[in-house]
Structure 1
Amino acid sequence: MTTDAARPAPPPFGRALCAMITPFSESGALDLDGAQRLADRLVAAGCDGLVLSGTTGESPTTTDAEKSALVTAVREAVGSRAALVAGVGTADTRHTVELALAAEKAGADGLLVVAPYYSRPPQDALEAHFREVADACGLPLALYDIPGRTGTRIEPDTLVRLAGHPRIVAVKDCSYDLLGAQKVLSRAPLAYYAGCDEQILALYAIGATGYVSTVANVVPGLFRALLDAFDAGDTKAAALLQRRALALIEPMMAAGLPGAVTAKALLGALGLPSGPVRAPLRAADRETTAALLAAYRGLTSGAAQFQA
């Protein structure tokens, strides 16, 4: 199973995806109206797809019913303008299948399935887990490789084997393994999405399909402009945009706080739907929020197309 194409697979969920936060009210309840307003804004600003109930969407602390309600509400808001990918990964195969079926019923276009965490299954068990989920429903799957959180890598050889399943169509890569990514890209017809904002251009340049970005919650147009510049042959402009994005990538993603915390702090400071994070996460303090806001203003000054 090989391919030498620059883009080894068509984008099943678009190129430019946002890992959307899950807005809550000040009391901590699910804010469906806020989710609809935020989703509409993100799609209007150029997002092809939205990933709901992922890491940034605080999936470990939302209930099954909330996850389904979120998909239904966002689908109502964006209609057919964007693909909706529902995060359904858990530590339990049976539970993951239940969430997959519920997401399909709620109107999702695809599923994001993370490697089961804590139990750290070996590769044969991991492969069986993904196949069971893919067999159980009719939606296409994106496999989420984020070993820093799950404790288990989806090895390149495992991804290549799983690519033979007709409903396993994509990967969200947070492995920080550029060599492994190239192995998969050269051997499997999977749509490859950069899951780490600092690697969007690097992976896109070697054949990735696009990205699933947390930073896109606040600058939804920036990375879309990067892809457009690269596709137009202006690699210098694409590189400049990636470097400019570091002004937000570093404080949002590499300063010791989860992206859900920093994205919500910045969205709230901008008057956009966000709300608190759920415990055990804690809100960013005033100093951190002020620094995030200053970085945002510095990046977007005179560049309205990058703004939230």
Structure 2
Amino acid sequence: MTAPSLGGVVPPVCTPLTPDLDVDVPSLERLVDHLVGAGVDGLFALGSTSEVAFLPDGHRRTVLETVVKHAGGRVPVLGGVIDMTTPRVIDHARTAAESGAAGIVVTAPFYTRTHPAEIEDHLRRVAAAVPVPVYAYDLPVSVHAKLDGAMLLRLAAEGVLAGVKDSSGDDGALRTLLLAQRDAGIDGFSVFTGAELTVDTAVAMGVHGVVPGLGNVDPAGYVRLYRHCADGRWDEARAEQERLLRLFDIVNAGAADRMGRGSSALGSFKTALHLLGVIDHPVTAPPQVPLDAAETERVRARLAAAGLL
């Protein structure tokens, strides 16, 4: 398989829900327009920020079909096919390919512990099952396994993988991967960072793009940041990165004594999108806890300070 290289800003699209917990399709379409209109380079539907782990299979299909259809070819759409075992992931992958996704995003299997050899076999089997590019998702905090850089590059050289999203938080391993890729002369393998607060540093190290959850709220900011980095305007990039870092404090809006960090972060993104008029409801999937009125005001204050309200 020969896959085109993808890079730039590829936000993981939030999944708007109705109060009855159905997919809010009109809000999702407006969110796609909000992102594409800001100049992003692609969309990642059904990632962690999309609440993929909380969505029934029918919701997943609706999300992917809606995003692909409404994007209308303006940007490529990657579909997350995250699940516990290889057969389940292959089912999701085939659905994503049938829905028109330009590529799929795959974690290691989880729930049970997997050996590195089993993870490699998993990625090979998924890639063999679909006619679209496959991107690995390095997410050890959730799947309890760090993807091996040598394995990733071996699969890249063989054409099995088109790229990786690195959400490991291990900057040393990320830099080692980028250096090894460069030394091996492996082209067409896109390395994305999921660390939205250090994009300038990551681009300086050589990453090809960023997948920022906060990019749902301020996609134009991340587009500016990435373009500043790509053009070598490092002082401007630092200033934009620091503005986004301050805005990112919205993820701390939820009180720690009544909700988890996931509820606070995803709830703050959706609350911000609701306050900006992009989505109709700031509903998150259960058992996540919604933000209350005081917490919503904290989000509003941060949006105003960032120049978004």
Does TM, scored on the shorter chain, surpass 0.5? yes
Query: Which one-letter code corresponds to 2:223 in the other structure?
Result: R
Give structure 1 stretches of 5+ with no counterpart: 1-9, 301-306
- Equivalent pair of 1:215/1:252 in contact (CA under 8 Å): no
1:235-282 residue CA offsets vs partner (Å, 9 max, x unmatched): 111111111111122332797622322211211222221541111211
- Equivalent pair of 2:214/2:248 in contact (CA under 8 Å): yes
- Equivalent pair of 1:101/1:137 in contact (CA under 8 Å): yes
Matches within 5 A, 1:101-112: 101-112=94-105
SS of 2:298's equivalent? helix
Among 151, 159, 171, the alignment partner of 1:166 is 159
Q: CA deviation at 1:128?
A: 0.7
Among 140, 165, 176, the alignment partner of 2:133 is 140
Q: CA deviation at 1:118?
A: 2.1
Among 58, 74, 80, the alignment partner of 1:65 is 58
Among 174, 178, 186, the alignment partner of 1:185 is 178
Among 277, 286, 289, the alignment partner of 1:279 is 286
- 1:50 maps to what in 2? 43
* In structure 1, distance between residues paired with 2:26 and 2:6: 24
Query: Which one-letter code corresponds to 1:260 in the other structure?
Result: L
- Equivalent pair of 2:113/2:144 in contact (CA under 8 Å): yes
Among 24, 28, 44, the alignment partner of 1:31 is 24
* In structure 2, distance between residues paired with 1:18 and 1:242: 16
- 1:265 maps to what in 2? 271
For the pair 1:294 / 2:301, whether they are aligned, the reply is yes
C-alpha RMSD of matched pairs (Å): 1.9
For the pair 1:218 / 2:225, whether they are aligned, the reply is no
* In structure 2, distance between residues paired with 1:27 and 1:253: 26
For the pair 1:123 / 2:116, whether they are aligned, the reply is yes
Q: CA deviation at 1:199?
A: 2.2
Distance 1:260 1:226, change over 3 A: same
1:158-198 residue CA offsets vs partner (Å, 9 max, x unmatched): 22222223141111111111111111112233311111211
* In structure 2, distance between residues paired with 1:131 and 1:140: 12
1:139-170 residue CA offsets vs partner (Å, 9 max, x unmatched): 11111111112111112222222222314111
User: Percent identity at matched positions?
Assistant: 27
1:42-80 residue CA offsets vs partner (Å, 9 max, x unmatched): 101111111111101111121222222222212221211
Q: CA deviation at 1:11?
A: 7.1
SS of 1:198's equivalent? coil
Alignment size in residue pairs: 293
Distance 1:227 1:11, change over 3 A: farther
Query: Which one-letter code corresponds to 1:276 in the other structure?
Result: V
* In structure 2, distance between residues paired with 1:235 and 1:20: 27
- Equivalent pair of 1:131/1:165 in contact (CA under 8 Å): no
Query: Which one-letter code corresponds to 2:298 in the other structure?
Result: A
SS of 1:172's equivalent? strand
- 1:203 maps to what in 2? 202
Query: Which one-letter code corresponds to 1:264 in the other structure?
Result: K
* In structure 2, distance between residues paired with 1:42 and 1:11: 22
TM-score by length of 1: 0.90
